[in-house]
């Protein structure tokens, strides 16, 4: 079958269970409008979040957690809890007044839980989380401790969730004291001599950056024409998002987009093709296969990466855990690119003939 005659895979239903998707899990205690519950929050690898059994898209949950609240922690404008409506009909995110990870932890506001969720989404997507970004700013400050870099460091520290242990590679206490202006400056010389901690810091940043490194030509959004379903697309990302929507007008606009980010933005709120959540992984895999079948030189470049981790880059199409455990994950697009690389290696090997 030629690339131009490939057909999108058949659709099949429903949001998969968390156990099949993976993600990051935290035991949690939550004050929901005055009622206390213990359970878990799971930031799933497909872009959904399960908070105390209430499953919602991450964007919806974040919008609820980040709503303005009054001094009692109630969401401003959310009078359903105090009115005639059953509180159970109100989203869990809007009912959260405070929360904590374990009874030895301090209570935190809903906005802090939103920080944790955003960090988990970054990690699952192979992006630098707030802690890793802060460590990069810390390194820059230690190299040249100027007032501007100190201000940037304070801002970076404030973006790191306080409720997750050891997010700053052993520098947590000092960095938070610095950001809270409990100390005016670091003893830079002393910090520079803390080789074990510096080694941990450097190793963590190197690890995070390795997970996001990649040859631009191998990324899904790189402008390499792809034939699929009898049509031509500017990139894998263009094809993916064009096929994601049933709106003919939006599909045409996505196909004509000048860049992959523009294509994704145009399709962001478009109505999805039936059973999209189930078909999208198969579709993206098929599109990646089509790209490398059509461009042998790129297939050779992909094989030349050996077995190192890859960063496919977009589309931001939901995520898939790299391991079965809920506390680990890789971006789905990255895993699928590595799968296609393995298929190419298998096909090229005489051992399996």
pTM of the model: 0.54
Residue pair 276/289 in contact (Cβ under 8 Å)? The answer is no
For the CA atoms of 209, 210, 215, 221, what is the dihedral angle to 10 degrees? -60
Which range of residues forms the domain containing residue 106?
Answer: 18-124
Q: Are both 70 and 144 inside the same structural domain?
A: no
Note whether 337 and 220 are within 8 A (CB). yes
Question: Is residue 344 located within the same domain as residue 220?
Answer: yes
SS3 233: strand
d(CA 50, CA 42): 5
Decide: 22 and 318 in contact? Cβ < 8 Å: no
What is the H or E stretch that residue 226 is in? strand 226-228
Instruction: Give 245's strand partners.
Output: 272
Best CA proximity match to 53, nearest among 35, 38, 70: 38
The reply to whether 11 falls in a domain is no
Percent of the chain exceeding pLDDT 90 equals: 24
pLDDT at 242 (0 to 100): 95
Check whether residue 33 and residue 136 sit in a common domain. no
> What is the reported pLDDT for 318?
33
Same domain, 258 and 204: no
**318 falls within a domain:** yes
Q: Are residues 236 and 323 in the same domain?
A: yes
Which of 212, 235, 256 represents a domain boundary (last residue)? Answer: 212
What SS3 state is found at 114?
helix
Query: Locate tokens 């057909």: which residue?
Result: 7
Beta strands in 17-79 (DSSP E): 23-32, 35-44, 48-51, 54-57
The two tokens of residue 285 are 């895999």
Whether 348 maps to a domain, the answer reads yes
The answer to whether residues 94 and 176 belong to one domain is no
| 124, 142, 164 - which closes a domain | 124
Residue 86 lies in a domain: yes
> Using N-to-C axis directions, what is the helix angle for 276-294 and 296-303, rounded to 10°?
100
User: In total, how many domains does the chain have?
Assistant: 3
Low-confidence ranges of the chain (pLDDT < 50): 1-13, 78-80, 83-85, 195-196, 211-212, 316-330
Backbone angles phi, psi at 245, to 5 degrees: -115, 150
């Amino acid at each position: 079958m030629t690339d131009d005659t490939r057909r999108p895979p058949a659709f099949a239903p429903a949001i998969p269970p968390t156990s099949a998707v993976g993600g990051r899990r935290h035991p949690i205690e939550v004050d929901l409008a005055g009622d206390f519950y213990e359970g878990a929050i799971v930031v799933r690898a497909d872009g959904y979040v399960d908070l105390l059994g209430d499953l919602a898209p991450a964007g919806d949950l974040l919008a609820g957690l980040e709503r303005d609240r009054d001094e009692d922690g109630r969401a401003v404008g959310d009078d359903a809890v105090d009115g005639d409506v059953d509180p159970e009909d109100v989203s869990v995110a809007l009912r959260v007044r405070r929360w904590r990870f374990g009874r030895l932890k301090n209570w935190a506001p809903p906005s802090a839980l939103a920080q944790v969720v955003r960090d988990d989404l970054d990690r699952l997507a192979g992006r630098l989380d707030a802690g890793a970004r802060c460590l990069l700013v810390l390194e820059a400050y230690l190299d040249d401790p100027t007032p501007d870099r100190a201000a940037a460091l304070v801002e970076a520290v404030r973006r790191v969730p306080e409720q997750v242990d050891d997010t700053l590679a052993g520098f947590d206490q000092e960095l938070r004291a610095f950001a809270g202006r409990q100390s005016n400056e670091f003893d830079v010389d002393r910090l520079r001599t803390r080789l074990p901690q510096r080694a941990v810091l450097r190793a963590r940043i190197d690890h995070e950056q390795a997970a996001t490194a990649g040859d631009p030509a191998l990324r899904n959004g790189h402008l390499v024409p792809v034939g699929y379903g009898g049509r031509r697309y500017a990139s894998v990302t263009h094809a993916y998002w064009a096929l994601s929507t049933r709106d003919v007008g939006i599909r045409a606009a996505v196909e004509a987009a000048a860049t992959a980010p523009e294509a994704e933005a145009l399709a962001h709120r478009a109505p999805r093709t039936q059973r999209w959540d189930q078909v999208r992984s198969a579709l993206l895999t098929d599109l990646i296969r089509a790209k490398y079948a059509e461009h042998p030189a790129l297939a050779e470049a992909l094989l030349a990466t050996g077995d190192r981790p890859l960063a496919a880059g977009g589309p931001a199409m939901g995520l898939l855990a790299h391991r079965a455990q809920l506390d680990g994950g890789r971006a789905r697009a990255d895993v699928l690119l590595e799968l296609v690389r393995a298929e190419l290696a298998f096909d090229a090997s005489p051992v399996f003939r």
